[in-house]
Amino acid sequence: MNEKSGLKNFASRLIVILLGIPAILLLIWTGGIPFATFIGLISLLALIEFYSLMIQKGFQPWIPGGLAAGLAWIVVSYLSPDLLFPLIMLILLMFLGIMLFKTVANATANTAVTMLGFFYIPLMLSILIILRESPRQFGGEYREGSQLVMIIFAVIWICDSLAFIFGKWLGRRKIAPHISPGKTWVGCIAGLAGAILMALVIYYLNWKPDYLRLCDLLAIAVIVGIFGQSGDFIESVIKRDVGVKDSGTLLLGHGGVLDRFDSFLIAPAFVYLYILFLKM
By CB under 8 A, name the one of 24, 63, 72, 107 that touches its own copies: 107
CA distance 180 to 162: 17
The span of 39-47, 72-80, 146-154, 263-271 binding its own copies (CB under 8 A) equals: 263-271
Nearer to its own copies, 116 or 197 (CB): 116
Beta carbons of 239 and 245 less than 8 angstroms apart: yes
By CB under 8 A, name the one of 72, 112, 196, 219 that touches its own copies: 112
CA distance 31 to 233: 29
With vertex at residue 249, the alpha carbon angle to CA 246 and CA 255, rounded to the nearest 5 degrees, is 45
What is the closest distance, in whole angstroms, from the C-beta atom of residue 199 to its own copies in the complex? Answer: 22
| Binding of residue 63 to its own copies (CB under 8 A) | no
Nearest to 39 by CA among 26, 28, 55: 28
| Binding of residue 238 to its own copies (CB under 8 A) | yes
Nearer to its own copies, 30 or 108 (CB): 108
By CB under 8 A, name the one of 15, 79, 96, 170 that touches its own copies: 96
| Binding of residue 69 to its own copies (CB under 8 A) | no
Close Cβ partners of 234 (under 8 Å, ≥ 6 residues apart): 262, 265, 266
> Directed axis angle between helix 32-56 and helix 63-79, to 10°?
160
| Binding of residue 45 to its own copies (CB under 8 A) | no
Close Cβ partners of 151 (under 8 Å, ≥ 6 residues apart): 199, 202, 207, 208, 217, 220, 224
Residues engaged in binding its own copies (CB under 8 A): 54, 57, 59, 84-86, 88-90, 92-93, 96-97, 99-100, 104-109, 111-113, 115-116, 119-120, 123-124, 127, 176, 178-179, 230, 233-234, 237-238, 240-242, 265-266, 269-270, 272-273, 276
